[in-house]
Structure 1
Amino acid sequence: MSKQNKKDKTLEIDSEFNERNYTIVGALFSGSVAYLVFASQSAYQEVDLTDLRLATLLVFAAILPFQGAYLIIHTYVQRYSEFLNDQKMLTLTRLSERCRMIGYLSVVGFTLSLININEIIGFTFIFSVVSVIILVRWSWNQGLSKKPSENDFE
């Protein structure tokens, strides 16, 4: 393996196992658990559970194990990285990437829960999310198209 390939893999591993990813997934995990506990308790008391409410609970229930797996893998790698060979690190990195991406889908469950409360609230949230994504992508592209000058760093 060339030095450049090894350096790229190290960067990939370092970028996957950083505190930002851990914090985001931890927050999503906490929100998913909270929603499942409280919403399922109130759903248990409902006589007629709506299909949308059931779909919301199913989304959170399906995604929760992936969020938990990411948190466990992240903690394991942080603790035992010096004992893991390159192949194991690469495998754990890819696995954690997939778990993290699936874990992000809990936002879909959150959106469904807002739609269940009121359609206008849910669709306003969807509109806002799309607007933010467009704004961030546009801003990012604007920043990439300009070369930084020395004054930018003062």
Structure 2
Amino acid sequence: QPSLTTNHSNQVAVYTTVAPIAINYEASENELQLARRNPNLSILVEAIDAAGLTGALRFAGSNYTIFAPDNAAFEAWFNETTMTKQKLMQNKPLLRILLAYHVVKTQQPLTVAQMQPSQLTTFNNHRITITNQKTIRDGIGRTAVIKAADIPTRNGTVHVIDKVLFPEG
């Protein structure tokens, strides 16, 4: 059974049936700064840079909930498909669609304790389904597990997930 531990040294550690992961953070950072400081989010950072979206989440007063696939999620997707990391980084339109699908604009940071079965509209107007406090389902029916939850940032919350999410169609 997955369990979540948070300590006061600005590190979240989650032990799941998927794999343990630790994320270092500073609540004053934005989402990209947080990702840059964590090596297991390096493919996500590379994708954000390649898509030209480095400034997209820096708007003061906005709150975002980010479902951030870790490196293992990207590697699993590359192994399941004909997509390679190099092909992905060269496909700016696909990168923008995929990255926007992992972002939900919220009135306040969305924590796992607040997550109830529901649908949320992503940044590119597609939907993801919250199935419970630990899992979400994408537009093609795949279920992702939250590996690290409730990581605070300057303008939102990050949840690290074990799959790359895809919109319907």
What TM-score comes out, normalization by structure 1 length? 0.24
Whichever structure has more strand as a proportion of its residues is: 2
Whichever structure has more helix as a proportion of its residues is: 1
Larger Rg: 1
What TM-score comes out, normalization by structure 2 length? 0.23
